């Protein structure tokens, strides 16, 4: 389960499928330890990779009553976060618990995509239809243009990130849905305290992505107070996963692992001392699911910070060298991305989320590094094993 979207086929498991869980855990532990170039074991290095990565998800599923089980529609489900979340929802609540939607055709190798349909979030009527036909009670809205991509197409970013959010909230109001819309560290700006950034502080972002996320936070809270919509949002840091980067400023923290395994060298577009908060994607999945499962009475606010750990390019490089001693990093600074990163927090304070609904992360930097190397090495091996086309 370490990276949920990385499985070669969907998980047709029930929450009580102990034998399958044990086999899955055993397989992944072997992959992680065999991927390391170090001769020391995970335990000897003092890492805290969970002995049973599925335990917290299984426990949450078993605590959910039949009447509370979600029937979820995910927009933008083919992106970095959607596929892993959909896989875990199927594992926890059954194969028919998720409707996956996006605006492109599913590739043949995306075998973890199930119950999928085309959905344009700019078409409010189409969202209505998908909600009604799918008997949906929970809406997770991932569709968005990210920071660097949005700066290159501001009109489209405004349409997708602002009009799309308004459509989602209107549909949620009409159909009494619980709705989750993620926010981001990009919702902060250079006037925000950059170290241990609190939940409530100055928010003056300098990117259209950040501006649109502040809009989503405030509009969602308005719909909650004015119309009773059960709106929830989490401000995510950079998310590290084995999914190909999608145009965000923190993408280097994913690409660096691919480069480490392919060439042993990464050219970074941020300065070596650029510190940013990050989170491994399984922790991200857990934060969404546990937040959605929390009772409204537990929530003191509607938008919370969550985080895992913070690091600089130099520090993640040092972590990689614990497993690949010959890895090298050099720097070619991208002025646009560096300017964006310099306006963001270096670390987040998520103490209120931990107090209100018992949020906690399971993965630190070295754990994430080891798992990422294992997953990407496995994906590269699969690519090598694929039969090559023969020209006539």
Which residues are known to be catalytic? 209
Residue 3 near residue 371, CB atoms below 8 Å: yes
SS3 label, residue 302: coil
Distances (CA, A) of 213 to 84, 165, 189, 210: 22, 9, 12, 5
239 DSSP β-pair partners: 279
Distance in angstroms (rounded) separating the CA atoms of residues 392 and 378: 31
Per-residue burial over 290-310, b = 16 or more CB atoms within 10 Å of its CB, e = otherwise? bbbbeeeeebeebbbbbbbbb
* 3-state SS class at 232: strand
Of 98, 156, 158, 159, nearest to 123 (Cα)?
A: 159
Q: How many residues does the chain have?
A: 392
Which run of H or E residues covers position 237? Answer: none
- In degrees and rounded to multiples of 5, residue 294 shows phi and psi of -65, 145
Q: How many whole angstroms separate alpha carbon 286 and alpha carbon 240?
A: 14
Task: Give dist(CA 156, CA 383) in Å, integer.
Answer: 34
SS3 (DSSP) at 189: coil
């Amino acid at each position: 389960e370490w990276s949920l979207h990385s499985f070669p086929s969907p998980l047709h498991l029930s929450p009580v499928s102990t034998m399958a869980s044990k086999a899955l855990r055993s397989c992944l532990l072997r992959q992680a330890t065999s991927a390391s170039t170090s001769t020391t074991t995970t335990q000897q290095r003092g890492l805290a990779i969970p002995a049973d990565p599925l335990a917290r998800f299984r426990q949450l599923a078993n605590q959910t009553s039949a009447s509370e089980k979600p029937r979820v529609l995910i927009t933008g489900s083919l992106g970095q976060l959607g596929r892993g979340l959909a896989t875990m929802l199927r594992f926890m609540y059954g194969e028919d618990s998720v409707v996956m939607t996006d605006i492109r055709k599913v590739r043949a190798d995306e075998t973890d995509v199930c119950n999928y349909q085309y959905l344009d979030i700019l078409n409010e009527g189409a969202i209505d239809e998908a909600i009604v036909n799918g008997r949906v009670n929970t809406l997770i809205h991932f569709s968005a243009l990210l920071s660097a991509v949005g700066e290159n197409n501001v009109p489209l970013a405004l349409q997708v990130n602002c009009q799309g959010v308004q459509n989602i909230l209107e549909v949620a109001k009409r159909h009494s849905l619980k709705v989750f819309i993620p926010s981001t560290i990009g919702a902060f700006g250079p006037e925000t305290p950059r170290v241990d950034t609190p939940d409530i502080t100055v928010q003056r972002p300098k990117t259209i992505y950040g501006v649109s996320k502040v809009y989503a936070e405030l509009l969602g809270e308005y719909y909650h107070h004015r119309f009773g919509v059960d709106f929830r949002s989490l401000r995510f840091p950079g998310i590290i996963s084995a999914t190909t980067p999608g145009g965000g400023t923190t993408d280097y923290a994913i690409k660096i692992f691919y480069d480490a395994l392919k060439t042993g060298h990464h050219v970074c577009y941020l300065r070596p001392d650029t510190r940013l908060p990050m989170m491994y994607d399984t922790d991200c999945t857990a934060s969404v699911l546990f937040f959605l499962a929390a009772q409204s009475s537990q929530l003191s606010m509607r938008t919370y910070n969550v985080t895992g750990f913070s690091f600089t390019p130099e520090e993640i490089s040092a972590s990689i060298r614990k497993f690949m001693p010959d890895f090298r990093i050099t720097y070619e600074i991208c002025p646009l991305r560096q300017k964006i990163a310099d306006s963001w927090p270096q670390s987040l304070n998520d103490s209120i989320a931990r107090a209100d609904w018992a949020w906690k992360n399971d993965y630190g930097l070295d754990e994430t590094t080891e798992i990422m190397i294992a997953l990407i090495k496995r994906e590269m091996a699969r690519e090598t094993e694929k039969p090559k086309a023969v020209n006539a």
